[in-house]
Structure 1
Amino acid sequence: MPRRSRVHGASKVWAAATLTAVAPSLFFWVIRTLTGDDGSRSYLSMSSGPCLGWDIYDQVSPWVYPIKAFPLFSYDGAPLIVLGFAGWYLSVRRGRAGLGRIIGRCVAVVLLVLDLPLFLLPTLDAALGPACEAMWGPPELLSRQIGWGLYDCVPPILVLLAVRAPRRAFVRRGPVVRTAAAVLAVTAVVLIPAASASPGKVSTERELDCAGFGDGTVKGLSETDKRFLCAVRGYDRPYDSGVEGWDEVSDQDVVAQGHQLCALATRHGGDTGARAVQEAPQASLAGALADLCPAVAGARQAEEDRRQAESDAYVAKKERACAAHPRHRPKIEPVRQRRATLWTEFWTIDGWEEGYEGNPPELVKDLVGSGLGTLAIWAADEAGSACVTVESYTRRPPLEVRGWEEVVEVGYESPSGALELVDGDGTSVKGLTTRGPGSYRVRVHLRGRELVTQVIDAPDGAVELLVQVFPGKAKKPVVYK
């Protein structure tokens, strides 16, 4: 065949390789334009145990996909094919056909290295059995994966055909080439795997014994597996419907996916927030994984311990600041004097007697308010703590206004004689009323309000409260300062 005819024929094959590479992108672009559907779907893989194809894919995909995202490899490598054609054509025109063949083969090898795993690895797992086959999703997804993987190999094969050396006579291919061709042909036929097995059993709350009453009937699952299933199904959470998307997935598949996610999280120190865990197909199970995975449970316990230690240190710092304030020296001896660091998330600390909770009164001068069996005292600018001293008397104590920014006194009616102050953390100060049920007066002294409302980061122990409770029949509030 004349040299010009060979170049012309090879150029057509190069063009066919380019069009074959671009065709899928054009096809999906048309579909997306006409229907608004880009054809993307998400699936959850369902399997357990080691699967060679998936394990290799999990290792190579982190570097394959960034490479394929490079513009040269966009449109299934069409820009690289065009660049390779240019190099081949210039080499042939200058009489260096050997260099042109090297350029073309390099293009083909690069594309095959990037595309073959997406075809060979799911094919390998499909051959290993249904368990590994399920790693790649439903049968239709696996068929599509293998089919597109095989299709993506067509452009580099066409490139190899375009740059093959001319032969004058038929040459029988070697055994490696014949075997590879046979494998490709057989795989192309077996694109649709066998239908998946039945979905399996989805156990009920009682069968799993999530309540712990001993009426579980599920066999073949460990206690950790059962706890994990209870969490996934939402059986152990009264107001939770479980992990969305897994309610109809069989027990066996849920547990298998949990173990797989556990193995992935374990490789990242039990951190379910790791990127690899968050990007896993079964990442939605991470919230329930601590019931199944010791590494995750350990990591979460360590994080909880760390946060608790930080919280304890924060509280201890505030308490030390309160303890550093001089103790109040009353003018007359009280029956009781209590000091405490009290916390609030909603401006006030509350006082109540049993049966009268949940009915906060309005505050007088935004400091103290009272009602039947209930009391409220401003303590922080929305959230924070206050250094509180509570004194109980059998008679009215002398008035003290010096050194205090605000002093307000209100009447209080005690239905049971058991008033106590309770903060947002459950800390309580009891024994405020000294004469049982009856009428009392509550005098509240405050300093530090302006400091915490005007300074973003107020010093520890800035708010101080002195609360004096004593018998008295007057009902009207009095503002002393």
Structure 2
Amino acid sequence: MVQPEATPRLTFSGWEDACMAYREYGHTRPEDREKAFLCRVRGAALGRPPMFPDTLPDEQVLGYGRLLCATSDQERRRSLLRRAGSDRSGWGAAADDLIFLCPEKIVAERPGLLHSGIAGRAAENEFAAEENARCADPWPRVRAVRQGTAAYFLFEGGGYGVFDAGAEIAEDIFGAASEDGIVAGSSAAVMTYGENEAMCLTVKAFGSAPPPRLRGWDEVAEVGIISRSGQLGVPRMEDGAEEGAGGRRSPTWR
């Protein structure tokens, strides 16, 4: 009789040239989706470390991936990544990675990820336009020199920034803002209650300080921003990004 193996056969995938073919969900065959997920979470992206350490076998990586898919709670997702020994637990799990394991779960957050190329961008733009249409200026009687209202799409952890358009945002500004809700310098980071969803954001630029808007708020804070370039802006949601203002132009004010 054939006896059972004493230990399971574990595999350890790494980044390879074939991984380049798995950049978009819409171009990936169903039988290749698990391989695509492993490629994406094993590789470094935009200077960030891999989502899972190379000491973790593929079977456990896929298991953690399915656990991440099973919850929408971001703190729970970050806890799972910490348990896995991830160096990216602070960022959380990206929707464009998880979609390869649970597309039916991610489609509600990022509908454009189901498509590819032009069709994907069109779906993302249509989704952003629908969210923008729900937003209105909450302070319409007070006109500014320049102003804009748009849906602002939030990623893991929530929060948005107002920054000096001529300077780089400090890397730790959102980490510092998580302690007290708001931090300013050459950039202001404002933490929010929601994440992985859109909220309505209105920004107004005045020639002089406007009266405080207190109605409807329990607490109001005022901070200063040092702008050496004389321009302030709010990040726009670029193609393929998961956060930023959904307006067609990046709002910048002098």
Larger C-alpha radius of gyration, 1 or 2? 1
Q: State the structure with bigger RCO (CA 8 A, min sep 6), 1 or 2.
A: 2
Greater fraction helix: 1
